[in-house]
Structure 1
Amino acid sequence: MSKPIYTSPDEAEQAFYEALARGDLEAMMSVWSEDEEVVCIQPGGSRFTGLAAIREAWRQLFSASVKIRVHISHPVKTQAMLLAVHCVLEHVSIEGEDTMAPPMIATNVYSRGAQGWQIILHHTSPAPDTEGLLLQETPRVVH
C-alpha cells in the first residue's frame, strides 16, 4: 500500500487528528515525514526523536484501547512555500467519559517535499491559562 500524499498542511493535520481519534498507528505514521529528525513531544514532557521512537510512543498510546477525541480550535497558522506552522488548542476527551479536560496547546510543524506535506514536529503541552486563550480571536493565518 502506498503512502498518501497530503496536498496541504491542513489536509495533513486533518489526517493526523483522524488517525489519533481512530487509534490507527499506520494512518498516524503516514502523516509523519520520513526524516529521522522528526520530533514528538507529548503532554507531560516526554520527547521522542526519530521515526522509530515516535512510532513506539504512538503504539503504546493506542494499545491502551482508549479512544481519544480531539477537537481543535483557535488556529494560528503561518505558511511559506516549504514550511507551515499551526498552533492550535486541543480539546481532548476520552470516549465514554462525560468530562472534558482543559484545552492543551499544540504546535504542529509541516514540511513540503516530494511526498507532499508531512508533519515534522508535534508538541502538545497543558495550557497554563485557559480563560485567556479562549477569548483570543480565531482563526488567524499569517503569511
Structure 2
Amino acid sequence: MSTTAAEIEKLNEAFYTAIESGDLDRMTEIWAEDEDGRVAMCVHPGWSAVTGRAEVLRSWALIMANTTYIQFVLTDVRTTVVGDVAVLACAENILTAADTDDATFAAGRVVATSTFVRTPAGWKLWIYHGSPVLQADDDEDDQADE
C-alpha cells in the first residue's frame, strides 16, 4: 500500500472514531472547507443529500446528539488515489443501541464511499455517501440455499 493510501485510511479511521466518540471538533477538522467549485456533500443512509460544509457538520452534530452508542467495523476497504483526490470505498458493519427502553442493540450494514481532497492543510474529507445494504431474513437465506 502506498504512503498516501495509508494516510487516507488513517484519516478515514479518524472519521469513524469521531462518530463513535461524538467528537464534533474532530469531525470539523476532518471535513474540507467549501471553496469555489468544491462544496462538501454528505449522503447519510436513507437521507437526501446534504450540501455545504456548515450543513454537513450540522447533520453530524444531530446524529451524534441523538446516538447513545454506535460502533463501526470496516471491511472490504479499497482506496484509490489519483493526484490530489482519493476515493475510499468500504462496508460499514454497524452496531448501535436500539431505540428501546431496554438494553438492546441493532446491527446493520452500509456500503460507503468517501472522497478526500488534498488541501494546503493536508488531506480532508470532501464527499461521503452511505447506502444501506438490505439484510435478508434468515428464513430467506435458508430458502436460497435449497
- Tell me the TM-score range normalised by the shorter chain: 0.7 to 0.9
- 1:99–1:63: structure 2 CA closer, same or farther, 3 Å change rule? closer
More helix as a share of residues: 2
Q: Name the structure 2 match of 1:117.
A: 123
Cα deviation, residue 98, structure 1: 4.0
In the TM superposition, 1:16-35 aligns within 5 A as: 16-35=15-34
Structure 1: 5+ residue stretches without partners: 1-6, 131-143
Whose radius of gyration is greater, 1 or 2? 2
Aligned 8 A contact 2:78 2:89 in 1: yes
Aligned 8 A contact 2:117 2:125 in 1: yes
Q: How many residues align?
A: 123
Cα deviation, residue 63, structure 1: 1.2
TM-score, with length taken from structure 1: 0.78
In the TM superposition, 1:96-115 aligns within 5 A as: 97-101=104-108, 103-115=109-121
Structure 2: 5+ residue stretches without partners: 1-5, 98-102, 137-146
Q: For 1:9 and 1:59, locate their aligned partners in 2 and report how far apart those are by CA, in whole Å.
A: 23
Cα deviation, residue 8, structure 1: 2.0
Any idea what SS the aligned residue of 1:8 has? Answer: helix
In the TM superposition, 1:25-104 aligns within 5 A as: 25-36=24-35, 37-95=39-97, 97-101=104-108, 103-104=109-110
Structural RMSD (CA): 1.9
Query: Percent of pairs identical after alignment?
Result: 27
Any idea what SS the aligned residue of 2:11 has? Answer: helix
